[in-house]
Structure 1
Amino acid sequence: MKSTRDKILQTLLQKPRSTINTLAEAVGINPISVRHHLTNLQMEGLVEGQEERHGVGRPRLVYILTDEGMERFPTRYMQLTTRLLSQIKDTMPGPVITKLFNQIAEDLAGQYSKDMQGLSMEERLDFVKAMLAREGFTVEWEKKGTQYEIHEISCPYYQIGIAHPEVCTVDQTLISKMLALPANKVQCILSGAAHCTYVIQPAEVKN
């Protein structure tokens, strides 16, 4: 049985730009309760409120799913993505596919290049952690001796990666580009590990 919040999300999927009253009627609860759920969903980044004009008078507030909210309904998107990747792999040579995934990571890293300027190594790691979180990853890092280890506790590419492990090169390339250092993968969740781990070895500073 679906929870009230799931019903609200489902309604916004089917009827985007719904008002509180519309949601209350669709879900079967009072508008005050809907407002409470919407506040929580907005805090989680799943729902966004927007003002919409409808004739004369003050604009009304309507609600839509954010991109993250849309990801709560991944089945069809996952199937489509998997089929697209299968088609690409059937029609393109391996090196071209690798270049395509690398370009995706390089383009994303390029969006943040100015923000990384002047940061120390550990500040860069914190920045990468926050940036990957926005992309759907749960990341932690730790220092071990002279090395740093980046642990991806959860990965938004996992389901796709089962059939198309090439997609893993996106985050590996992205980390390397953001830190300007090679990211060496030492374990992978697709191989049965608890999480993916990358080892970063900063260059030695010579006196």
Structure 2
Amino acid sequence: MSPTPERLLYQLKSRGPQTAATLAAACAITPMGAHKQLQALSAQGLVAFHDEAQGVGRPRRIWTLTDAGHGRFPDRHGDLVVQLLRHAAQRLGPQALDTLIAAREEEAEHLYRQRLSHASDLAQRVQVLAEVRRQEGYMARAEPAAGGGWLLVEDHCPICAAATQCQGLCRSELALFQRCLGPDARVERTEHLLAGARRCAYLVSPA
């Protein structure tokens, strides 16, 4: 696939449903070029659209990723980890999964605390945490929240298949963020991929 369709897919993954005009501007191509590329992606089953009424005039056509489109952003753990988690639960019991999650959490906490140790304040800690998560494949970013504080947004979950099998991984990450950002932070999950949202997002506020 050429770079332009890949950029369109990336924009839909990272920014959610959009019009062709918005996508064209983000990818520095003409609206006509965006329409042409989106039609080709639709024919491949990677994107779909719906029309939204906007009062007088023609409705807006909103483009979004299909499940196949989301699948272009691979799960780094894949089926093998899902199978291992299932077998661990079946043969060793739920406590075995708790032990595995705790070990993963301990290792991640050590790394995150090390990276966050040089951050001067909460805002910088959120930015550093977002960068660490981005490097881990979560397409993470930090941005100011509308009502104050910061949003830690993760547009992709590279462990989604594993988290679906073992939702303790998600509970573990929320607690991990809280501990690593420190007692002067309050962390709340506001969007959750496994609950039907298109991404995971966390609101970080001063405690």
Give the TM-score category using the shorter length.
Answer: 0.5 to 0.7
SS in 2 for 1:150: strand
Deviation at 1:182, TM superposition (A): 4.9
Structure 2 gap segments, 5+ residues each:
3-72
Give deviations 1:55-78, integer Å, cap 9, x for gaps. xxxxxxxxxxxxxxxxx9869x62
Report the number of matched residues: 133
User: Structure 1: which amino acid aligns with 2:164?
Assistant: I
Indicate the structure (1 or 2) with the bigger Cα radius of gyration.
Answer: 1
- Is 1:172 the counterpart of 2:174 in the alignment? yes
- Alignment of structure 1 residues 1-207 onto 2, 5 Å: 78-94=78-94, 97-119=97-119, 120-144=121-145, 145-180=147-182, 181-203=185-207
Deviation at 1:155, TM superposition (A): 0.9
Alpha-carbon RMSD: 2.9
Q: Which has the higher contact order (CA 8 A, sep 6+)?
A: 2
Distance across 1 between alignment mates of 2:75 and 2:125? 31
User: Structure 1: which amino acid aligns with 2:108?
Assistant: L
Decide whether the 8 Å contact of 1:148 with 1:199 is kept in 2: yes
Decide whether aligned partners of structure 1 residues 104 and 198 sit closer, same or farther in structure 2, where only a CA change above 3 A counts: same
Decide whether the 8 Å contact of 2:75 with 2:157 is kept in 1: no
| Structure 2 length-normalised TM | 0.53
Distance across 2 between alignment mates of 1:198 and 1:158? 17
SS in 1 for 2:98: helix
Structure 1 gap segments, 5+ residues each:
4-71
Distance across 2 between alignment mates of 1:183 and 1:73? 27
Give deviations 1:26-82, integer Å, cap 9, x for gaps. xxxxxxxxxxxxxxxxxxxxxxxxxxxxxxxxxxxxxxxxxxxxxx9869x622211
Deviation at 1:92, TM superposition (A): 4.1
Deviation at 1:146, TM superposition (A): 3.8
